[in-house]
Amino acid sequence: MPKIGRNDPCPCGSGKKYKHCHLPIEEAKQAEQLHLRRAVDTLIPKIITAAQEQTDAIPAAYDRFWDGKYTLEQMSELDDLEGRGAERFLVWFAFDYVLEDGSTLAERLAGASDSDFSTEEQQLLRSWAPVRLRPYVANTVQKGQGMTVSDLMDGSRYEIVDHAASRRVLVDEVLVAHLVPAGEAFFIGGAAAHLTEDTRSKMREFLSLHLEAMQRDDPAAGWPELLHTRSEVLNHFVMQLPVEEPNPSLLESIITQTRASLMLAGESLGLGKRDDAAE
Ligand SMILES: [Zn+2]
């Protein structure tokens, strides 16, 4: 869009100068967007801290997210073992894990009239309550600015503002992330898993198997139901990937093993898979 001069006629056609018509409105909008953006940066750490305080609920959630692979004592090593694993777990716990009262921590925080949160943070929290972990494909990347992604499962497109991620991510790569809205833009909430392009079709196949298994109990279930109740399976896929080089035969064996274990687990598949996975 060409830049409009302050003294130019306003493009809305009012006949007034831009500075006396839509310029102040635009400026207010930009200021609000900036405030919201700053609130994203302060709110995420607060959510992570609130998650760390849920010491009663963490053990069961941790087991589910890591599929029994790590002990709680290993939490501090997870950032090395699993690329920012501790933070990815805590963000998942806050947004996706259903607590005893039937709500997620994010939903609980959104409902609380808490003076720990600024007005902007409270506004964000209300719009963040429905956010869950999902897989996205990068469609376009503007290095150091942001990117356009589409949901791997339903194809919905989002404009993400993110300096750090857009520096590393390439077109067609996969992000397993919490996309949080702030005004007109989306941001990546906390740490995300970043996967190479070759994982894209296997991830879809992997999730299809899980959906198929879920539909045995609930024939009407679709992607939203799967990702709303079992989004940890996304991490189970991520956990099995090689850290170094792409490995097509390993991707294939993830699918084969998933198919086998879902068949074996049958109807009782889902929570508490740890025992079923024993050899
Ligand atoms: Zn105007």
* pLDDT tens string 57-99: 999 999 999 999 999 999 889 988 888 899 999 999 999 999 9
Q: What pLDDT was estimated at residue 243?
A: 66
Q: What pLDDT was estimated at residue 271?
A: 40
Distance in Å, CA 37 to ligand 1 centroid: 26
What protein residues have CB closer than 5 angstroms to ion ligand 1?
10, 12, 14, 21-22
Alpha-helical segments (H) within 53-104: 58-65, 78-81, 85-96
Distance in Å, CA 28 to ligand 1 centroid: 14
pTM of the model: 0.85
Distance in Å, CA 5 to ligand 1 centroid: 13
Of the spans 34-38, 94-98, 169-173, 254-258, which averages the highest pLDDT? 94-98
How far from chain centre, in Å, is Cα 242? Answer: 21
* pLDDT tens string 20-32: 999 999 999 999 9
